Amino acid sequence: MLIVIGTSLGGLQALQVILSGFSKNFSVPIAIVQHRHKSSNNNILIDLLQEQTYLVVKEAEDKEDILPGYVYLAPADYHLLIEVGYFSLSLEAPVNYARPSIDVLFETAADSYAQQVIGILLTGANHDGVKGMTRIQARGGFNIVQEPTTALCPTMPSAAIAAGVASVILPLSDIAPFLQTIITTRN
Amino acid sequence: MSQDELEDIEIELFLEAIFRYYGFDFRNYARKSIKRRIWHTINQEGLKSVSALQDKVLHDNESMKRFLLNLSVNVTSMFRDPSFYLAFRQKVVPILRTYPFIRIWHAGCSTGEEVYSMAILLQEEEIYHRCILYATDINQTSLYKAKTGIFPLDLMQEYTSNYIQSGGKTSFSEYYTAAYNNAIFSSSLKDNIVFSVHNLASDNSFNEFNVIISRNVLIYFDKVLQSRVHKLFYGSLVKFGILGLGRQETIRFTPHEQDYEAVEPQEKIYRRVA
């Protein structure tokens, strides 16, 4: 199983809330695309997220194995792609003006993990992620969209809801407990 | 059988056909990335499936050329990741100074921006005259551009900023002449650069090198092909030779992990020790 999260404007706070809600033994790997400037300092973002979670936060490296207990962040200025069991990186052209692009992460996750994917779309000011969620839905995966009124910038979650690709719409504070419950139940 | 499984078969057949007919071996390229670029070509050609593209590409050389162009990701810039060049200046150049003669291989040089950057750096460190830079790429069109040493003028502001951050010692504008919308780089930079076609997926080593630079090239290969290329690099480096990879690449998940030590781990600069 694999959780993929996409967010843009306002994403840092939203990610902090979600990651702080997972227990130490949370058993599903998490891959995140957070839009940011290409020369932004990745270490600061990692530190700010690491402070909030028991899981290990790190930048994904090329061909790195996808393991439980880890939160992998797409590096600035690279697309993050999911192969079966490991990551690949790419410098293909930006998608939706973004590199990393949420659509690229979600679509490749859906291709590699099909119904084993949980996609999560959070606050953001553009439409990246909607196509990716469409693919996740088509492959039998599960999509969680942040309730737009709880988002700093509702554009991105609203676009996913309008496209009809949300399996469930949850307020930000309910997302981690919901995941914790369904993962535990599954085990 | 699902639609996905069917498409996986189509992609395998497509890549096999291209290899057997045109000799380009993309069979061990990272699958998700090449799939995206295959679909990009399918849409561009107004087709509906991988099989349809196979039919077209096999019978129409021009569409094969377009596919090849879509496959090469030419994202590069001069002094890309300036901190890499700064570390190279500070940590690697002192080692190179001890050599009477220095061979450097830029494997997958694309349109040449990073090779010219290296040439500038070596000139400033006053060891360029002892170096030969072999700049290779699979793509002939990219190499042709690289050989001209002409880059768009509107990029010079970004490149100047990169150059300064990389520890540049003079004014970046001294290296080029502006003409129309182009920056024509000084031909002295090219004196010791040899450009040639080389395919990392199928060709062998052609020399022994003191330095191999291959940044953001191997990310497009799967683990099998990456291992092959790392074996090639390892076998082509002299003992204590330097290997420079891209910012998010690592020697860690390869069979040669134990054969290198990090010179500058953050910048992915390694030194062959075994």
Tell me the per-residue pLDDT of B125-139, one tens digit each, with 9 for 90 and over: 999 999 999 999 998
B196-224: average pLDDT: 94
Determine the 3-state secondary structure of A98 from DSSP: strand
Minimum-distance CB partner of A90 among B220, B226, B247: B220
Minimum-distance CB partner of A90 among B219, B250, B252: B219
Tell me the per-residue pLDDT of A13-62, one tens digit each, with 9 for 90 and over: 999 999 999 999 999 999 999 998 877 666 889 999 999 999 999 999 99
Tell me the per-residue pLDDT of B55-85, one tens digit each, with 9 for 90 and over: 999 999 999 989 988 887 777 899 999 999 9
Tell me the per-residue pLDDT of B78-110, one tens digit each, with 9 for 90 and over: 999 999 999 999 999 999 999 999 999 999 999
A122-130: average pLDDT: 96
Which of these, B216, B186, B207, lies nearest to B133 by C-alpha position? B207
Active-site residue flag, A88: no
Per the structure, the count of domains in chain A is 1
Alpha-helical runs (H) found in A54-154? 102-113, 130-138
**φ, ψ at B193 (rounded to 5°):** -105, 130
Q: How many CB pairs under 8 A join A and B?
A: 65
Q: Is B223 on the interface with A (CB under 8 A)?
A: yes
Contact B32 A65 (CB under 8 A): no
pLDDT over 90 at B263, yes or no? yes
pLDDT at A184: 82
Instruction: Collect all residues with Cβ–Cβ distance below 8 Å to B206 and sequence separation of at least 6.
Output: B134, B198
Q: Domain of A97? A: 2-186
A109-132: average pLDDT: 96
pLDDT at B233: 98
Active-site residue flag, A35: yes
A75-86: average pLDDT: 95
The chain B residue lying nearest A39, using CA atoms, is B81
Q: State how far residue A34 is from chain B, nearest Cα, in angstroms.
A: 17
Cα angle B130, B81, B166; round to 5: 55
Q: How far is CA A11 from CA A18, A138, A171, B223, in A?
A: 10, 26, 14, 32
Minimum-distance CB partner of A63 among B75, B226, B247: B226
Tell me the per-residue pLDDT of B5-49, one tens digit each, with 9 for 90 and over: 899 999 999 999 999 999 999 999 999 999 999 999 999 999 999
Q: Is B72 on the interface with A (CB under 8 A)?
A: no
Domains and CATH numbers, chain B: 3-71 (no CATH), 82-272 (3.40.50.150)
- A187 pLDDT band (50/70/90 cuts)? low
Taking the whole predicted model, whether its pTM rises above 0.90 is answered as: yes
Percent of chain B at pLDDT above 70?
Answer: 99
CATH number reported for the structural domain that contains residue A96 in this entry: 3.40.50.180
pLDDT over 90 at B168, yes or no? yes
